[in-house]
Chains A and B, each alone.
Chain A
Amino acid sequence: MNTLRSNLTSHFSLSAFSFIMLYPVIWWVGASLKKAEELSLPTIWPKTPMWENYSNGWHFSADYTFAHFFGNTLLMELGNVLGGVATAAIVAYGFGRLNFKLRGFWFSILLLTMMLPGQVTVVPQYILFNKLGFVDSYVPLVLPHFFGGGAFFIFLLVQFIRSIPRDLDEAATIDGASVYGIFWRVVLPLLKPALVTVGIFTFIWSWDDFFAQVLYLSSVDKFTVGLALRMFIDQFDIQWGQLLAMSLLSILPSVLIFFLAQKHFVEGIATTGLKG
């Protein structure tokens, strides 16, 4: 009886709290369909939904539709996710399984880079990419992902690889497999769930990595969704309904991925990230 009551209290407080957390998002959906006059009213749903907010917002720029910006962003994401997942797996296997000189040293350096503020490297990196003529292209955005996909992901995968029983490696060694063979046939297949987590995080974080995008992309033709939204915000007379509609669309890919792979997400870091 007592547990039932405490469960009911939990349900009640958790639903209330979830509602508060989600409330701005719920309001957002309604607001994206509102007329300008209705926007500041505390109602959730507009009297007559303005679906034109979506179609007009989609065409807000004279030269491009949002389809163009979505295409650009997805193209960039393709490179980021592929590069990140592939190289993170390779590097993590090196750190997680192989013994080589200075391994501990390099691994500490890797962990240290996680704490390095990006501001320290951003100026010389910009200078470098500028000299190579890569400014206003996707290279500065995509290329860094091909160097191990980021310290955090390598760390995540190393933790995961260490939880794979070594007996499997040793059995494969007896069967004559080299370290490369073990990576390809033993570790990589078992690593798949963790790699999905890495892929999802890479996707969502690069989607939101506004700093790099605003820094390196300058021509509208190459704009990502985030930059297009910024262009929208900076207009003199903001059409808030349309802007909120397009903003809502812009988070849709991340949300879709989140729900498709939800189990990986909330449980994902819980099981792979912190296996001490």
Chain B
Amino acid sequence: MTIGVIADSKTRTQTKSMPVKEKSKRISGQQLAGYIFISPWLLGFLLLTLWPIAQSFYLSFTEYSLLEDPVWTGTDNYVNIFTDDATFTKSLSVTFMFVLFSVPLKLFFSLMVAIALNKNIKGMNLYRTAIYFPSLIGGSIAVAALWRNMFGLDGYVNQVLAWFGIEGVGWISNPDTSLGTLILLNTWQFGSTMVIFLAGLKQVPQELYESASVDGAGKVRKFISITLPMLSPVMFFNLVLGIIGSFQTFTSAFIITKGGPINSTYMYAMFLYEKAFKHYQMGYASALAWILLSIVALLTLINFAASRYWVFYESDGGKTK
């Protein structure tokens, strides 16, 4: 987000340099054209985003099965969810566990790999491709099928473990390990996060490292004092989007574990999907959606508020720590 804001301020200074008269003439001519050009998005936003948001909010206070008209029930849905729905509590805690582990794991791995890949050696493109490859296919149902087979009771993973004399469990059919298996699958697909880190690393001015070397800084010192602060905006971007994305994990739980065993992988998105499209409780599902939105929005706000203490922007002249 911040990246966009920075770019926006740059363009503004560019337009300022134009003669005032010419600028105002161009702007008036562009009023209509501007709206014509953004109209596809604007239309889509109003029709498929804004209106649905409003309707979803309304529906969350109703009972609605698609067949009959919505019936206003006040805050019943919310009250039921919070006081009388054990599945809600379960799926929320499962999802929190998933986010809590998979987001930091993915960030850590992708940063480490990005640093390893940010070198100028022969064949680097080959390595990048190989390492990116799982992320290319990772979200597909095909990989979910593969995963389900590999982590089955007599699947490949247990056969390898048997070599080492370890007796494996049914990774997917055991409620203690099923969520961990999904977290592992999620971490395996760290490619796009890694690519963004890689792009960030390329923007770090080499002079900083050189002058640090002159001052006698070692590798670790350079990493802590240069790489980490310079990467913090990218880290922030990945963290915010990572949290939002993880809360919506659906396919892997839906295909590999079907939410089980005993709801140990019943992710929130899957719970919501089943409420809406299996039980046709559209009002209840809408309330669930608004709870999800509130949680995600709250976490994002906390993230933004906390960012001023650890995210470093060059344009501030290094005011922040």
Question: Which A residues are closer than 8 A to B by beta carbons?
Answer: 7, 10-11, 13-15, 17-18, 21-22, 24-25, 27-28, 31, 39-42, 87, 90-91, 93-96, 98-101, 103-104, 106-107, 109-111, 113-128, 130, 144, 146-148, 154-155, 158-159, 162, 166, 173, 178-180, 183, 204, 207-208, 210-211, 214-215, 226, 229-230, 232-233, 240, 243-244, 247-248, 250-251, 254-255, 258-259, 262, 265-266, 269-271, 273-276
Complex Cα spacing A93 to B38, Å: 8
**B141 proximity list for chain A (CB < 8 A):** 208, 210, 226, 229-230, 233, 247, 250
Query: Is A276 in contact with B203, judged by CB distance below 8 angstroms?
Result: yes
Query: Is A90 in contact with B250, judged by CB distance below 8 angstroms?
Result: no
Report the minimum CB–CB distance from A65 to chain B (whole Å). Answer: 17
Query: Is B244 in contact with A244, judged by CB distance below 8 angstroms?
Result: no
**A243 proximity list for chain B (CB < 8 A):** 145, 149
Query: Is A18 in contact with B131, judged by CB distance below 8 angstroms?
Result: yes
Give the most central of A10, A96, A266, A270: most B CB within 10 Å: A266
The 10 closest A-B pairs by CB, nearest first: A147-B44, A94-B37, A100-B34, A148-B41, A247-B142, A124-B52, A18-B130, A98-B34, A94-B38, A121-B52
Complex Cα spacing A214 to B129, Å: 30
Known A-B contacts A119-B292, A124-B55, A159-B4; the reply to A10 vs B119 at CB < 8 A is yes
Complex Cα spacing A91 to B156, Å: 48
Query: Is B293 in contact with A116, judged by CB distance below 8 angstroms?
Result: yes
Q: Which of B71-79, B173-181, B194-202, B221-229 is the interface stretch?
A: B194-202
Q: Does B309 contact A (CB under 8 A)?
A: no
B145-175 CB mask vs A (1 if < 8 Å, else 0) is 1101110101110111001000000000000
**B288 proximity list for chain A (CB < 8 A):** 119
Q: Which of B24-32, B100-108, B208-216 is the interface stretch?
A: B24-32
Q: Does B7 contact A (CB under 8 A)?
A: yes
Q: Does B8 contact A (CB under 8 A)?
A: yes
Query: Is A117 in contact with B4, judged by CB distance below 8 angstroms?
Result: no
Residue of A nearest to B3 (CB): A276
Query: Is B142 in contact with A13, judged by CB distance below 8 angstroms?
Result: no
Residue of B nearest to A144 (CB): B48
Q: Does B33 contact A (CB under 8 A)?
A: yes
Query: Is A113 in contact with B199, judged by CB distance below 8 angstroms?
Result: no
Query: Is B121 in contact with A10, judged by CB distance below 8 angstroms?
Result: yes
Q: Find A120's partner among B126, B129, B150, B293 (CB 8 Å cutoff).
A: B293
Question: Which B residues are closer than 8 A to A by beta carbons?
Answer: 1, 3-4, 6-8, 10-11, 14-15, 26-27, 29-38, 40-45, 47-49, 51-53, 55-56, 59, 66, 113, 116-117, 119, 121, 123, 125-134, 136-137, 139-143, 145-146, 148-150, 152, 154-156, 158-160, 163, 188, 192, 195-196, 198-200, 202-203, 233-234, 240-241, 244, 247-248, 250-251, 254-255, 269, 272-273, 276-277, 282, 285-286, 288-290, 292-293, 296, 300
Residue of B nearest to A113 (CB): B49
Report the minimum CB–CB distance from A227 to chain B (whole Å). Answer: 8
Query: Is B300 in contact with A24, judged by CB distance below 8 angstroms?
Result: no
Complex Cα spacing A40 to B3, Å: 48
Complex Cα spacing A31 to B59, Å: 48
Q: Find A15's partner among B127, B145, B196, B269 (CB 8 Å cutoff).
A: B127
Query: Is A100 in contact with B48, judged by CB distance below 8 angstroms?
Result: no
Residue of A nearest to B139 (CB): A208
Query: Is A101 in contact with B31, judged by CB distance below 8 angstroms?
Result: yes
**11 A/B residue pairs, CB under 8 Å, sorted by A:** A21-B188, A90-B40, A94-B38, A115-B244, A207-B140, A233-B141, A244-B149, A251-B137, A254-B140, A270-B195, A275-B7
